[in-house]
Structure 1
Amino acid sequence: MADQTLLIADKLLARLPYADIGQYKVHDTELKGFLVVVGKRTKTFAAEGAFWRDGAREFAARKKIGEVGEMTSREARSKAKDILAAIARGERPGERQKIKPGATTLRTAWERYRDGHLIRKGRSAKTIEGYRDHIERLFADWLDAPLARLGRQPKLVADRHDKISEENGPYMANGAMRTLRAVYNHARKTNTDLPPMNPVAAIDWNPEERRNTGMGGADMAPWFAELTALTNPIRREFHLMTLLSGSRPTALKNVRIEHIDFRSRLLHIRKPKGGAKKAFATPLSRPMIRCLLRTMRAARILHPDQAEFWLFPADSDSGHMVEHKEDRDVLSKWGNDLRQSYRTLAQAAGVSELDVHLLMNHSLPGVNAGYITRDSLLRNHLRKQQERISKVIIDGAKGKTDGRALAWLQQAKVDVLPVLPEDGLKTAA
């Protein structure tokens, strides 16, 4: 029998014939979505409607209300209104019952990734905070939804990428999707029921250009003039050390006094990007040593208590510098600008690509490079290369300046290090 549209009432239901084959539906003329499904032996009240969530139509949702004869049409109609209202709010019928305790939601997947991967592998607090911001701010409305829903509906992820790109910018959108991709892949290791295709594969990535903010030799003199004008000597030396070492600012801010080995002329970076397993030592050139000594002298005056432990102390909860950013009108280049500058100036100094990778603690390219023992090169070859890079940098201060930069850079040599031979280091008593 064909489907019908009638005013559902008890008297009508009593007269409805059972289906000869299969089943047919009787839709109510007053309440859209309220119906009776008539089979060969049963007549069942039900409610159905289009199920929409996050702007996407998922399916036609139907929920059984009860059997005709066990409840009146008025009672069934009242329950149908509640079910249809829930569907309109985006609540999938029966979903709460289907989500078992401990089921993988985005929230639980993120917490497992945070604790089992990021923290266990020693990722920095800044890195973890960046991931947390992506998940808990940009995907806040998904936190308690089943992660499998994103796997089944990758269009939701593609639409969200477009939305974040428009509201927060293309770089933020790409970064958030990399975080979501990592969390989903990690969750699949322990939940094989998740759809195998990562939903982030559905997005069209925003184009990204490598930031080109490094300085060349011609930019050194004006930058040194800006640097010399900084009134805080510790911050001034911090920026210079960032440039001379090519270090990431976060790693440099966490250097402790015990990490400096003047006898071997090495600076140990215990927790660089990638965690403690990426720890390395960078050779110290003579300008770098002067920079360290000037820093320690100023630190003992300005922050005597913190200076016992930290190379770049400050009045902060941690005891060391926390914020390294400067007003661009005061200092035009700082932070990773200086790391890029180090890379550029190393090229100008004629230092090989492989040596630059070693000095900057980059992963070595190629299979054969993996057999190079970095420590065996530190005290001789890499130190000479570091000296060459430092010379190019310090020579840049000899440009059109008023002489204050040179006076400052020579200060430690005159007052603290009367002897600095080419083949060794002798400090004043």
Structure 2
Amino acid sequence: MNSRLAFWLPAMLRLFGVLMLSSVIGFFFGSISGLVAAALALAFIALMQLSYLYRLNSWLDDPDSARLPDGWGAWTDVFSRLYRMRRDDEKHQTELIEWLARFRQAMSLLPDGVVIMDDVLFLEWCNPAAERHLGLKLDRDEGMRVTNLIRNPDFMDYIILGRYEQPLILALKDRKLILQIIPFENRRQILVTHDATESERIEMMRRDFIANASHELRTPLTVINGFLEIAYLQPNLDSQTRMSHLKLMAEQGQRMQNLVEDMLTLTRLESVDYPMRPERVAIHSLLEQIQQEAEALSAGKHTITLHVDGPDINGSTDELRSAFGNLVSNAVRYTPTDGAIKISWIEANSGPQFIVQDNGIGIRPEHISRLTERFYRVDKSRSRETKGTGLGLAIVKHVLLRHSAALVIESTQGEGSLFKVKFPSNAVHHPQPVDQAS
């Protein structure tokens, strides 16, 4: 009621003023003159109203082309309110643009792909992850039908059937993708893509690990149980046969123990509950011990040399002993009799390096990239002869990851192999200065 009164009261007062002025003119100059004055005043007011209506109409046709006009009387309030509405609208549009930019930026950082489509599957927007997963390009494919961009029979069937409550598992571009369409609003749909390639690879590694570990443990258990059964059923075995059986059982028991210890070592290296506690690693002393262990393993069948010309580093002595020892023992196991093995510790421009070089049987190129996988064996029959657990290089890999180091393997079949561990320059141990009494 107050807003209505505020609008009509000024108009009624102006109209009353016109009538009063006309009455005064009519009183002094005659009734005709008063009527003419009143008509002219009303005509002037009407023209002003039409003028403001025209200016308002022109501004409404193109609000961005001109400044909002000023007004007089009631038009002052009308134009003032329109100005506030326009200002609020511009503010809301700016906020909307900012929110849209922030939304797209957030979507661009997601590891999962997001594709926004209209109700007939025309591409409106997608993030970089979706471009990688599906081979799309937003600047090239915007406005095109997604079914023309993703030409896969399973995807077409998924679209046609429209059963979007269940995701679609799709093999596309050497990736395993999980796709799902989520309808939203009345004219929009979202296609979400998740790259499950890495998780599938990890799951496969887990299954292989369990299968291989079970297989590796079953063999010695079979041997031990077999001999125990023989000893139970044939208590009168001669001492030589009994001692032979006991020797084989002890070997298989040691094999199981080594395997279990390596599995526990891997578990500890991968666990966040066992962070590395860096200490000064006395490299010269450590490598001398590893050389002595290698010579004992070789039993005089190889020439093993050691060259140390580099600084001590910060790290875990026990972990590095395990990693370096695995590399050296592998060189001994896979180098024929009378072969040569060279152990080196040098300081390069990029940082210290540990190198094991042999002239053994070598490795074919297709095997090199998989050597650090658990239980991966180049030659299974030879691995049984060398009594390895198949976890040595996997342990090396995880120890080096904890020390920010990298393993480089170079090998030529029939000529030998070179295993090089590169440490970062910041791994070098710098002795703390000793305060001297003045």
Fold match (TM-score > 0.5): no
TM-score bracket, shorter-length normalisation: under 0.3
Structure-1-length-normalised TM-score:
0.21
Higher radius of gyration, 1 or 2: 2
Larger RCO (CA within 8 A; separation ≥ 6): 1
Please identify which structure carries the higher strand content.
Answer: 2
